[in-house]
């Protein structure tokens, strides 16, 4: 599937517009996150912290046409029992995306995103412990998502330097036997705004919405430091959350949990 999108992106590029080719693997973004959860709900013993590491790279770019590939790994941790760190599960995200830049600030594209979630033996032991104490246990979803999407990305020249991304993601491919189905949350919207900017630092607010059945809305603010020669700060301190008390499987944010979190992020961009 990935090679299919890369090949088609290459064909489009060959027939493309004017402009010098920048070739393969010309840019990459690397990031690592760690967040602590603060909500006190039914998920508390099972969703105490989360760690995420990933990258996005330009597979090929020529003129206004670009093919991207992204990969992320999200690890979820539960309560510490007898000085032991419990890992509840791991989620793997793969995405290939084609983008055509209509203007320098306006882009159209589309692609395929895969999320595969896996639970661990630690979760089984924690569930047994909670049941033995007479406490309720939540349902934690694991499985695969294979979502086809179209995307609009806009960075208008306006106050606060907003960045807006809209994804229309109506189809979930359940494999060769299951066939395609309607995806429960067919619209994704993300908006970022620059609230303040200093020398090699800035403060950014961000909102994410997945609209549809069991949708969610995330709100966050982050302080970005030590930007050096890149737009994003290399060290980011963040706090965020959303109303509700549910766990969602998504291809935009693997295993998204409602509630309050705080953490840090490290970002490096290469060219």
Contacts by 8-15 with C-beta closer than 8 Å and gap 24+? Answer: 8/98, 9/59, 9/60, 9/65, 9/66, 9/67, 9/98, 10/60, 10/67, 12/65, 12/98, 12/100, 13/60, 13/61, 13/62, 13/63, 13/65, 13/67, 14/62
- What 3-state class would DSSP assign to 39? coil
Q: In what helix (H) or strand (E) does residue 131 lie, and over which residues does it extend?
A: helix 121-132
What is the tens place of the pLDDT at every residue in 67-81? 999 999 999 999 888
Predicted local distance difference test score (pLDDT) of residue 81: 82
Q: How far apart are CA 66 and CA 29, in angstroms?
A: 15
Predicted local distance difference test score (pLDDT) of residue 162: 97
Q: pTM of the entire structure? A: 0.86
Predicted local distance difference test score (pLDDT) of residue 237: 98
Question: Within the chain, which residues score under 70 in pLDDT?
Answer: 1-22, 174-179
CATH architecture of the region 2-270? Beta Barrel (2.40)
Phi and psi, residue 215, nearest 5°: -70, 170
Listed in sequence order, the residues at least 6 apart from 72 whose beta carbon sits closer than 8 Å to its beta carbon are: 52, 53, 54, 92, 93, 254
- 35 touches 263 (CB < 8 A): yes
Structural domain boundaries in the chain = 2-270
- What 3-state class would DSSP assign to 8? helix
Predicted local distance difference test score (pLDDT) of residue 10: 40
Predicted local distance difference test score (pLDDT) of residue 7: 41
């Amino acid at each position: 599937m990935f090679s299919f999108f890369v090949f088609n992106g290459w064909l489009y590029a060959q027939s493309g517009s004017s402009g010098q080719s920048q070739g393969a693997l010309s840019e990459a973004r690397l990031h690592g996150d760690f967040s602590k959860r603060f909500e006190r709900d039914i998920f508390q013993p099972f969703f105490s912290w989360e760690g995420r590491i990933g990258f996005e790279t330009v597979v090929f770019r020529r003129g206004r046409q670009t093919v991207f590939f992204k990969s992320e790994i999200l690890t979820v941790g539960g309560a510490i029992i007898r000085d032991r760190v419990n890992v509840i599960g791991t989620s793997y995200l793969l995405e290939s995306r084609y983008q055509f830049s209509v203007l320098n600030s306006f882009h159209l594209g589309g692609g395929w995103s895969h999320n595969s979630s896996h639970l661990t033996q630690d979760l089984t032991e924690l569930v047994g412990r909670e049941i033995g104490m007479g406490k309720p246990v939540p349902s934690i979803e694991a499985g695969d998502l294979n979502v086809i999407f179209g995307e609009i990305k806009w960075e208008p020249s306006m106050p606060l330097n907003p960045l807006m991304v809209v994804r229309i993601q109506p189809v979930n491919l359940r494999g060769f036997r299951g066939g395609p189905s309607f995806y429960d949350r067919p619209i994704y919207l993300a908006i970022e705004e620059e609230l303040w900017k200093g020398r090699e630092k800035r403060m950014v607010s961000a909102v994410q919405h997945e609209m549809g059945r069991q949708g969610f809305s995330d709100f966050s603010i982050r302080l970005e430091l030590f930007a050096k020669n890149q737009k994003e700060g290399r060290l980011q301190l963040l706090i965020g959350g959303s109303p509700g008390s549910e766990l969602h499987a998504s291809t935009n944010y693997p295993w998204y949990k409602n509630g309050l979190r705080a953490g840090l992020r490290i970002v490096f961009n290469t060219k």
